Amino acid sequence: MKRPSLGKLKKTAWDLLSKIIRLSNADEGGTVECYTCGRLMNWEKDGAQAGHAIPGRTGAVLLDESVIKVQCLTCNVFHRGQYHIFATKLIKEHGMD
């Protein structure tokens, strides 16, 4: 049996973590709130995504749950993560460390 590549393993791990982040932040009706703009959406049906506070999605950042939050497609993709809002909120919640 052929071993999966590192890239394939990372993709699988990311897909699972993204689902966990979105589902664990959903209320009993499946609604989540975008971390950066506050838009309400269904965790699965409305295109909710798991966005990173640090751009790049590589190395240690890819699976670091402390910098991953639910975001809407608009904030995460079209507004490139809204990093200025994302980072400010994280610092207020957790401090600079």
Specify the pTM: 0.89
pLDDT at 96: 81
User: What's the Cα-to-Cα distance from 73 to each of 26, 43, 96, rounded to whole Å?
Assistant: 16, 12, 27
| Average pLDDT of span 63-77 | 94
> In the numeric block, which tokens belong to residue 64?
């670091």
Res. 51 pLDDT band, cuts 50 70 90: very high
